[in-house]
Amino acid sequence: MAEVLVITPVKNSIETTLDTASAIAASNVSVRHIIFNDFSTAETKSSLEDHQSKIGYELIHIEDLTDHPSPNYKLVLQLAQKMALEAGLPLLVVESDVVIKHDTISSLLSQQVKSAKSGLVGSVTVDEAGVVNFPYLKFKGVKESVIRHIVV
């Protein structure tokens, strides 16, 4: 049984998306991963379909749900939120150009569990050398933990 619903919105970035999906599949927690294909080219759509069973994600083509042109990020988030609530799972968005570590999701879930009142837990992305990526450069000199809980 999945511990978290992970979504990945995508439009025409097949190589990075497949890297993202493979990393999510290698997570140390059970995930339900859904890729939302937002009007990608026929080649991207075909490749996503070809790799679906190999990697192990669900695939939703936004073109089957709306004729509104891309981007449809708001619709994707609304659908994902509904799915997560119905399944009773936390929702995690992993963009199609992000490759997570095997323990990233469990670390995020652990932070969320530590505060029953948390509504959102986020992470900062880094490059292969561990350097913080834009737009997080304003935190470059911060020595304390970047993960925080905000209770309202």
The residues, any chain, with a CB within 8 Å of residue 83's CB and separated by 6 or more, are 5, 34
Predicted local confidence at residue 149, as pLDDT: 44
Model pLDDT for residues 124-134, shown as the tens digit of each residue = 777 778 776 66
pTM of the model: 0.85
pLDDT-derived band at 150 (thresholds 50, 70, 90) equals very low
Residues in the chain: 152
| Selected residue with higher pLDDT from 114 and 53 | 53
**What is the average per-residue pLDDT within 19-36?**
98
Residue 140 has pLDDT above 80, yes or no: no
Report pLDDT digits (tens) over 3-25: 999 999 999 999 999 999 999 99
Residue-wise burial string across 137-150, b where 16 or more C-beta atoms lie within 10 A, e elsewhere? eeeeeeeeeeeeee
Residue 4 has a pLDDT of 96
pLDDT for 10: 97
pLDDT, tens digit (0-9, with 9 covering 90-100), for 35-58: 999 999 999 999 999 999 999 999
Query: Tens digits of per-residue pLDDT, 80-112?
Result: 999 999 999 999 999 999 999 999 999 999 988
CA of residue 20 relative to chain centroid, distance = 8
Q: Which residue type sits at 75? A: L
Q: Could you tell me where the beta strands, DSSP code E, fall in the chain?
A: 4-10, 31-37, 58-61, 91-93
Q: Which residues, in sequence order, are bridge partners of residue 34? A: 7, 58
Transcribe 80-117 into DSSP letters. Answer: HHHHHHHHT--EEE--TT----TTHHHHHHHHHHH-TT
For tokens 């561990």, name the residue.
130
Q: Contact, 12 vs 44, CB < 8 A?
A: yes
